[in-house]
Amino acid sequence: MQIDWLTVAAQIVNFLVLVWLLQRFLYRPISAAMRRREARIEDRLAQARTTRQEAAEEAERLGKERAALAEEKAGILDKARADAAELHQELEAELRAEMEDKRKTWQRHLEEERDEFTRRLQRHAGQRLIDIAERVLADFAGTDLSERIATTFVSRLESLDEDARARLVEATRQADSAVIATGRPLDPTTRGKITRALHEALASDIPVAYREDEDVLLGVRLTIGDQTVEWSAARHLRRLETALDEILDSEGRGPRAAGTAQNSAATARPPRPERSAT
């Protein structure tokens, strides 16, 4: 068999042309496309790794923020509880103080009402005693009560000690008048008797004014300036007032003696001191 070298050469040339064509228009574009795709894939993978790393970092940051928020929330709750407890204590203290003030006010009002009742009872009892004394003296002494009061006043005035007399004499030099107070009105004759006795005892002609005072029970009160001398049944009525206070205190403590005995004893009003009666 004879080889046609021209044909072989033509086939070789065709093959080389085909390879060149394939290389030029097929392999190179495909390789370039594959390299570009690989580059894009590598870029996407790198971007995905970056995104995943950023996501991890973001998750870590969010976790830290969540922990910080939880800690801040716990702190806020603890502070709110502490503030609520403090406010509760303050409100409770204010309520206790308000209740204590109301209790003291109520106790003060109760004591004032008791004192007022005692004064009314004392005045009523004293007036009754005076009425009885007037009737008794009128029946058995045969004289007017005002005359007896004036006689007693003159007698007591004459028996003044030197110090009391000196104070009254000194007071007459500074005062404009002397004031005689009695529980009942005195007749002009009795007033004149008292005025003469006062001028003689004090060696002074100071004007004398008479007035009525329901607190001066069965007696006379002499006032010259800041000097006061009294002879009356008031001291006996003060003893009656003290006795009434003790009775009221014992009656008030009865229902709750176990809890308030010491407080009642501490707050009991002491008897008023008697004015000097020489």
Selection from 161, 105, 142, 136 nearest residue 218 by Cα:
136
pTM of this prediction exceeds 0.75: no
Please determine, for residue 137, whether its predicted confidence score (pLDDT) is greater than 80: no
Topology of domain 143-232 in CATH is hypothetical protein PF0899 fold (3.30.2320)
pLDDT, tens digit, 9 for 90 and up, residues 139-150: 544 455 667 777
Instruction: Give the torsion sign (CA, 127, 131, 132, 137).
Output: positive
CB atoms closer than 10 angstroms to residue 180: 21
Confidence class for position 126, pLDDT limits 50, 70, 90:
low
pLDDT, tens digit, 9 for 90 and up, residues 182-223: 877 888 888 888 888 888 888 788 899 999 887 776 778 899
Q: Where are the domains of the chain?
A: 7-47, 143-232
d(CA 248, CA 256): 14
Selection from 81, 121, 92 nearest residue 242 by Cα:
121
Confidence class for position 269, pLDDT limits 50, 70, 90:
very low
pLDDT, tens digit, 9 for 90 and up, residues 79-106: 999 999 999 999 999 999 999 999 999 9
- Quick one: average pLDDT of 117-137? 68
- At 142 the pLDDT is 44
